[in-house]
Amino acid sequence: MSSAWSKFASPSTFYPLAGRMIPVFWVLAAGSLLVGLYWGFFETPDQLGGSNAQKGYYRIIFLHVGAAWMSMWLYAVMVGWAAIGLVFNTRLSFMMANAIAPTGAIFTFLALWSGSFWGRPSWGTYWDWDPRLTSELILFFLYIGYIALHSAIDDARRADRAAALLAIVGLVMVPVIFWSINCPDPNQCAALHQRSGLGKVDGNILFAMLTTTLGFWMYSFATTLMRVRTIILTREAQTTWAAETIQAEARA
């Protein structure tokens, strides 16, 4: 690892850096969400498809798809930080993993929630045991398990490492769980249920969808950095620099 990277692996140097990055990410998040939502509401067709037309309610995909993508991506990022923490024994990596988890859980919940509200008009039901829905629900349980284990252990070092191991085990199991739900009958796995490709999506819809996703991504950065700053201060409360920082911020 180069020295510049390892420099910011220390909580005391990362804390001010994160503080400077947070406003940037908030601006980026607000900007792309506004553009994406504007485009999604005013530049896209009001109706989709032929015989079984999707009316205005299809527009929930601008939130739904981004939230679902972020929920999965953030789990991978969380496991990445957890693994880095276990390998290099860096405290900040564990704090990052720990800070990502709530945002990931919120996006998972948002994806489930928005999906069921789309399902009501188009499928006629809020919930169906569709493989994607079920997988997303399981992902939600995995996030909750991670957060629950971490908060149940008082000793920060053990909590970090135990939750990290759990997250890695979860990531190993995710494909197996996904395929078992997707294909409960191994005799007929060839006919998997849904195939979708971004190429078939209308250009304007795709643009709005990708822009809101980018907004969600920037939002994840912003909230994760904010949370990691709080975690850093809580964990480092006994050090001089943290006490000075808290005093300086209280004065400002």
Partner 1 sequence: MFKVFWSVLHRDLLLAMRRRTDVLTTLFFFLIVVSLFPLGVGTETAVLRTLGPGVVWVAALLASMLALERLFAADFEDGTLEQLLLTDQPLVLLVLAKITAHWLLTGLPLVLMAPLVGMQYHLTDPAIGIMMAALLLGTPVLSLIGAIGAALTLGLRGGGILLSLLILPLYIPVLVYGAGAVELAAVELTATRPYLMLLAAFLLSSLILAPLASAAALRISIE
CB of 136 to partner 1, least distance (A): 12
Instruction: Please say which residue, 28 or 153, places its beta carbon nearer to partner 1.
Output: 153
Per CB under 8 A, the segment of 106-114, 119-127, 185-193, 206-214 that binds partner 1 is: 185-193
Contact 114, 133 (CB under 8 A): no
**Total of chain residues touching partner 1, rule CB under 8 A:** 27
CB of 164 to partner 1, least distance (A): 9
Residue carrying structure tokens 């006490």 = 243
Verify binding: residue 7, partner 1, rule CB under 8 A.
Answer: no
Please select the residue that binds partner 1; options are 185, 197, 250, 251, rule is CB under 8 A.
185
| Residue numbers 125-184 binding partner 1 by CB under 8 A | 138, 141-142, 144-145, 148-149, 152-153, 158, 161-162, 165-166, 169-170, 172-173, 176-177, 179-181, 184
What is the binding site for partner 1 (CB under 8 A)? 138, 141-142, 144-145, 148-149, 152-153, 158, 161-162, 165-166, 169-170, 172-173, 176-177, 179-181, 184-187
